[in-house]
Structure 1
Amino acid sequence: MTFDTKDEAYWTSLLVAVGTDRDRAAFEQLFRQYGPRVKAFLIRTGLTPGTAEDCMQDVMVTLWRKAHMYDPTRATVATWLFTIARNRKIDLIRKIRRPEPEDLPWGPQAEPEQSEVLALRDDSRRLAEAVAVLPEKQRDLIEKAFFGDLTHSEIAAQTGLPLGTIKSRIRLAIDRLRHAMDTDLQGTAQR
């Protein structure tokens, strides 16, 4: 069967072939079609050409490794790849912004002022009280995300909840916590 090379069904069939059969020829065609486009996208979004090339290579390796996870009913090949590229770029930026251990301060630190210690202790107590009164579903997710240090994807895998539900509940919980902390601060200031 022959396909027009611009037909989405053609690219989908290639990606499915990579996922099911580890088809190297299909991968090569996908790489030639989408590699330059992904690199151009990354450059347009602010990466240097060298960094965009590295990131594009990582995206294409991800295509090879995770092609079996592609669901053509949820996204086109291009959408799937550009989403991976966007996420890789975000990860790269976070990594760049993370300080190196040698850049972190070390040695004796000045003792904080007693008022700062008391304010921090008070804030911690108020936050713990606000978390305690959250609805159980929100509280559980907040504890997993912030105290358990789990990513949203890890929480989804652990709980079986959809990723969107987890993000919505956490966002609602944070809004409630912010409101509770602001209200508590306003009440303290009025006393």
Structure 2
Amino acid sequence: MQKNDAEGGDVNAAAITQQETSAEERRKQVRDEWSACLTALAETRDRSEFSRLFGYFAPRVKAYILRLGMPDATADEVTQEAMLLVWRKAHLFNAAKASASTWIFTLARNQSIDRMRRDKMPLYELPEEEPDPDHRDMGEHLVIEGRMKEAIATLPESQAQVLHLSYYEGKSHSEIADQLGIPLGSVKSRLRLAFSKLKAHWGEDA
């Protein structure tokens, strides 16, 4: 019986190993397919190739940007900007140095940093590259989300309120002012104070 159990364990282990190998092969095929598509776009400037890239990567790029803490409306804008850069800079892509996914998410990361600096959003330590969301480990992002909620909980209610409306509901400063019945300057002042306190909070945790 023990022998049979051992043999069964060996069979199960072999099956799991085979499944893992097959999954990795499929991931490699997907990476190679999109790298070939991006290379073709660089060479031919074929809009159909760009449409394929956009359809696949734009939702993933937006999901990545949203996890960085940007409001939905801003995430849409940054996604459009990042994908436009893919069109404009496709000739710079080198499949020998990086996969299409890594290259595109690096563009998105850089666009996100530029927008965060321009809008005076708190800058956290962003990953150098973002793997395909279909295969990534969510653990790190759950930790970041949890820390973000903890940090917001330390803010005065007035600051937490405007931050929530701006970050999580994607409302403009004027929309927040109208909703809360406060001057536009008060909205901007509360957001500046909130961002400053969040940066200080994260700096102490680092």
Q: TM-score, with normalisation over the residues of structure 1? A: 0.47
- TM-score, structure 2 length as denominator? 0.44
Give the greater-gyration-radius structure (CA): 1
